[in-house]
Amino acid sequence: MKKNIALLAGGYSGEYIISIQTAETIEKNLDETLYNVYKIIITRDEWYYQDGDKKVSVDKNDFSITINKEHIDFACAFIAMHGTPGEDGHIQGYLDMLKIPYTTCNSIVSALTFNKSYCNKVVKAFNVVNIANSVHLIKGEPYSMGAVLDQLKLPLFVKPNESGSSLGVSKVKEVGGLLPAIEKAFGEDNQVLIEEFIEGRELTIGVYKVNGYIHALPATEIVSKNEFFDYEAKYTPGVTNEITPAKIDAVLKEQLETKATYIYRHLNCRGIVRMDFILQRSTNKLFFLEVNTMPGQSENSIVPQQVRASGRELKDFYGEILEESIKTHTV
């Protein structure tokens, strides 16, 4: 008997369109002989399934839909939302209360990893990878430009603390650019993270867990034609050269995979996550950037590239993620 799967797309953030594209890739690669897939669009105003030209509202009391008088419950929710509420733990907490399995990290891990500053502090305590020096600002709390510049060396990255797809991110090379960059980041979030720029090679790696074993996908090196891997570089073909698998030696490959799987295990991640690192050019040390617990999976995205580079088909990969989520779900 086929399982009913809710594919959650949309969300409340500026990454809405990217989420729709991610959901399209996943939907196209879920085995229709095994699953009935219902794409549920989530916005601030409504949650619905598009049945032809009719919108079918989701009953939030039990997360179900009714089509032609048939009540449809879901065996699992495949979360394809970037940003809030799909990546910050909100939807996970709701689904946990209803005891519905889902494909991402749980609510606590999702909330932690979505907060870049808090996640950095936890990962730093693992003592397995370097973390760039940073300052964390909160809207409404006083801060001193002088104090920031006393603690950090230019150039700097200024970014919203809880945001994805590099929305609101600036690279600041001169003192005069710092305040406008902070104001821009506060336009996206109530918290801002200011980090020292680490010059080097940007490497990113997908990690997932199936049958109790944590797997690392082939890493990707990101070479952006832009100043950094910003929104345009992430989602515009030709702006970024993404080399998968990355041209790295066996020692660095093992180091990257070991550190990424260690962080995955000790953060208690679930599903497919993507971890970003910088290999500092001057020291050859790996610096941790962030964990993406719902990495983009549109046609231009990195995780599908890495899955194919591993010799896997997306259909098999997504099926494994789904079945693992159903099998291991606990509340």
Strand partners, 225: none
For residue range 76-110, what is the model confidence (pLDDT) as tens digits?
999 999 989 999 999 999 999 999 999 999 999 99
> Within this chain, do residues 140 and 226 fall inside the same structural domain, yes or no?
no
**CA separation for the pair 106, 300 (Å, rounded):** 27
For residue range 36-70, what is the model confidence (pLDDT) as tens digits?
999 999 999 999 999 988 999 999 999 999 999 99
The whole-number pLDDT of residue 15 equals: 86
Angle in degrees, 0-180, between the axes of helices 250-267 and 107-114, rounded to the nearest 10: 120
Alpha carbon 244 to chain centroid distance?
Answer: 19
> Within this chain, do residues 287 and 208 fall inside the same structural domain, yes or no?
yes
Q: CATH no. for residue 69? A: 3.40.50.20
Using alpha carbons only, what angle is made at residue 203 by residues 91 and 18, rounded to the nearest 5 degrees? 35
> What element of type H or E holds 208?
strand 200-210
3-class DSSP assignment, residue 82:
coil
The whole-number pLDDT of residue 221 equals: 96
Structure tokens at 175: 């003192």
> Within this chain, do residues 186 and 314 fall inside the same structural domain, yes or no?
no
> Within this chain, do residues 307 and 324 fall inside the same structural domain, yes or no?
yes
Q: CATH no. for residue 115? A: 3.30.470.20
Using alpha carbons only, what angle is made at residue 194 by residues 190 and 196, rounded to the nearest 5 degrees? 165
**CA separation for the pair 224, 79 (Å, rounded):** 28
Structure tokens at 279: 């290999």
The whole-number pLDDT of residue 230 equals: 47
Cβ contact 103:322 at 8 Å? yes
> Within this chain, do residues 79 and 185 fall inside the same structural domain, yes or no?
no
- Counting the structural domains of the chain, the total is 3
> Within this chain, do residues 151 and 51 fall inside the same structural domain, yes or no?
no
> Within this chain, do residues 122 and 139 fall inside the same structural domain, yes or no?
no
Query: In the chain, which residues have pLDDT < 70?
Result: 163-166, 226-239, 330-331
DSSP H stretches of helix in 64-165: 90-97, 107-114, 116-126, 145-151
Owning domain of residue 304: 111-130+198-328
DSSP class of 177: G
